Amino acid sequence: MNQNHINSFTTAIQPVCQRLRPVLMELPEHIQESVQEIRMRVNLPLSIFNGVQSFFVTGNGISRKPEEGIPVFREDMEETFRSLCSHSVYTHQNEIRNGFLTIRGGHRVGICGTAVLDQGQVAGLRDISSFNIRVARQIFGAADELLSLIGEEIVQGVLLAGAPSTGKTTILRDLARQLAGGGTLPPRKITVVDERGELAGVYRGDAQNDLGCCCDILDGYPKSQGILQAIRSLSPEVILCDELGSERETAAVEEVVNAGVSLIVSVHAASAGDLLRRRQIRRLMETGAFRTVVLLDCAARPGKIKGIYKVGELLGQINRDPVGHGGLHSGGLYGIA
Which tens digit of pLDDT belongs to each residue from 291-304? Answer: 999 999 988 888 99
Q: Using alpha carbons only, what angle is made at residue 290 by residues 287 and 295, rounded to the nearest 5 degrees?
A: 120
Per-residue pLDDT at 1: 60
Select from 134, 161, 179 the last residue of a domain: 134
Per-residue pLDDT at 47: 98
Higher pLDDT, 227 or 302: 227
| Bridge partners, residue 305, by sequence | 296
- Phi-psi group of 51: left, alpha or beta (phi > 0 → left; psi -120 to 50 → alpha; rest → beta): left
171, 142 contact by CB (below 8 A): yes
Select from 105, 134, 163 the last residue of a domain: 134
Judge if 15 and 56 occupy the same domain.
yes
| Domain annotation covers residue 74 | yes
The band of 328, judged by pLDDT with boundaries at 50, 70 and 90, is low
**What is each CA distance from 242 to 23, 44, 175, 245, in whole angstroms?**
33, 32, 12, 10
Which domain CATH number covers 207? Answer: 3.40.50.300
- Please count the structural domains in the chain: 2
What percent of the chain is modeled with pLDDT above 70?
A: 93
How is the beta sheet containing 158-162 ordered, strand by strand? Answer: 215-219, 190-194, 238-241, 262-268, 158-162, 292-296, 305-310
Outline where DSSP puts E strands in 167-311.
190-194, 202-203, 206-207, 215-219, 238-241, 262-268, 292-296, 305-310
Judge if 312 and 193 occupy the same domain.
yes
Q: Which DSSP helix (H) or strand (E) runs through 103?
A: strand 100-103
Closest to 327 measured CA to CA, from 269, 267, 276, 270: 276
| Domain annotation covers residue 327 | no
127, 233 contact by CB (below 8 A): no
Per-residue pLDDT at 152: 87
Judge if 255 and 286 occupy the same domain.
yes
Per-residue pLDDT at 337: 39
> 86: which residues sit within 8 A by CB, 6+ positions away?
92
Judge if 9 and 64 occupy the same domain.
yes
328 — phi, psi (to 5°)?
Answer: -130, 155
> 322: which residues sit within 8 A by CB, 6+ positions away?
none
Radius of gyration, alpha carbons of the chain: 20
Judge if 170 and 110 occupy the same domain.
no
The band of 251, judged by pLDDT with boundaries at 50, 70 and 90, is very high
219, 243 contact by CB (below 8 A): no
Does the structure show a pLDDT above 80 at 86? yes
| Domain annotation covers residue 139 | no
Judge if 156 and 300 occupy the same domain.
yes
Which domain CATH number covers 69? Answer: 3.30.450
Give the amino acid at 269. A
Which residue range is the domain that position 79 belongs to?
A: 3-134
| Domain annotation covers residue 332 | no
> What's the rounded mean pLDDT across residues 195-209?
85
Per-residue pLDDT at 16: 98
> What's the rounded mean pLDDT across residues 253-280?
91
Does the structure show a pLDDT above 70 at 202? yes
Per-residue pLDDT at 125: 83
Judge if 102 and 192 occupy the same domain.
no
> What's the rounded mean pLDDT across residues 28-44?
95
Could you read off the pLDDT of 278-292 as tens digits, one per residue?
Answer: 999 999 999 999 999
The mean pLDDT of the chain is 89
> What's the rounded mean pLDDT across residues 262-274?
93
Could you read off the pLDDT of 118-148 as tens digits, one per residue?
Answer: 888 888 888 999 999 999 888 899 999 999 9
Per-residue pLDDT at 329: 55
Q: Using alpha carbons only, what angle is made at residue 246 by residues 241 and 248, rounded to the nearest 5 degrees?
A: 90
